[in-house]
Amino acid sequence: MDQYKTLFGPVPSRRLGLSLGIDFFSKKICSLACVYCEVGPTVQLTAKPDNFIPAKTILAELEDFFSKGKNTDYLTICGSGEPTLSSELGFLISELKIRYPEKKVAVITNGTLLHLPEVLDRLLEADLIMPSLDAVSEDVFQKINKPDPELNAQIMIESTAHLKSVFNGDVWLEILFIRGYNDHQDEIDKLVNAVKIIKPDRVQLNTLVRPGVLQNIEALSKVELDSIANQFPVDFMPEVITPSNFKTEILTTEQVATTIARRPCSLVDISGMTGSNESALKMLDFFKSKKILKDHDINGQSYYSIFRMTDLSVLKN
């Protein structure tokens, strides 16, 4: 049974193609408590790196994964918490590059800890770092990202710019817009100026596509995101991220359950994982029969998740 504790997918990523997720955390531990987070509420808010799931556990699961002839485009360190909080992040990246040199290693981070020299050092062997920046004004940063008290938006801008100046790989900056939070013109102007300072290789504009922590937050339309994108200089013209419907390899019931336990997925997402719409519906019915499936509604779109990671134990019966 392919029920890994630290791996999920591979799943069709809107930004990375076929992406195998790697997760240091068994619960949501993060330096932010963003209102839009699709993983759910932050259980432990902290800005201090520490030891979490050991890298050797992750490497053992990866060895099993690849021994079965499975494939992926990216090994993507992300998941239930902020990966730069792990003191073993640098060791893991180094081992991934040694053991799987043909694979690209990406780190999806909220960018809040890049000012710490030890965190920056741990990231330097990666191929791609994908930090976020949702706000420049401190009041907006507090409202949308709800950070650990030690953090502020200005530190994030300065440290992300420094990362870009010393990192040999690519830096793709993501800005996620939520209606009524960071979509007013003054904040957009400040974000444009911050991008000029950071000089990322790519800028990607995103919005809410899965249920967030707060139920009343709203996504922007693609037309609105396109309008915002047109306000950036040509050298940093953003890519507006839209859902991809391409299919990945067919995943097992346990793999799908592990994936949607970490982040809600739509029927289209699950159809891509299972090979067909019919298979996806049958799997959802199975999860319902086990009383572990949770439905979400966002802007009229249904998303599905598992109530708790611990609920996956019923699939062994």
pLDDT digits (tens, 9 = 90+) for 229-271: 999 988 898 988 865 433 445 677 877 777 777 777 777 777 7
Q: What is the DSSP letter of 132?
A: B
Alpha carbons 140 and 183: distance in angstroms, whole number:
10
Q: Which one-letter amino acid corresponds to residue 26?
A: S
CB of 218 within 8 A of CB of 207? no
Mean pLDDT score across all residues of the chain: 86
pLDDT in tens, 85-136: 999 999 999 999 999 999 999 999 999 999 999 999 999 999 999 999 999 9
pLDDT greater than 70 at residue 218: yes
Say whether domain 248-317 belongs to CATH 1.10.10.10. Answer: yes
Dihedral sign computed on CA atoms, order 280, 255, 103, 68 = negative
- Number of residues assigned to the chain: 317
Could you tell me the CA-to-CA distances from 260 to 30, 59, 128, 213 in Å, in that order?
Answer: 19, 22, 24, 16
Within the chain, all domains assigned CATH 3.20.20.70 are found at 7-244
Q: To which H or E segment does residue 30 belong?
A: strand 29-30
Kindly report the pTM of this predicted structure: 0.76
- The encoded tokens of residue 135 equal 């706000």
Pick from 120, 100, 307, 298: which is nearest to 214 by CA?
Answer: 298
Within the chain, all domains assigned CATH 1.10.10.10 are found at 248-317
Alpha carbons 50 and 69: distance in angstroms, whole number:
33
Could you tell me the CA-to-CA distances from 30 to 15, 70, 174, 188, 306 in Å, in that order?
Answer: 22, 30, 18, 26, 21
Alpha carbons 257 and 5: distance in angstroms, whole number:
12
Say whether domain 7-244 belongs to CATH 3.20.20.70. Answer: yes
Dihedral sign computed on CA atoms, order 61, 66, 72, 75 = positive
- The encoded tokens of residue 293 equal 């499936």
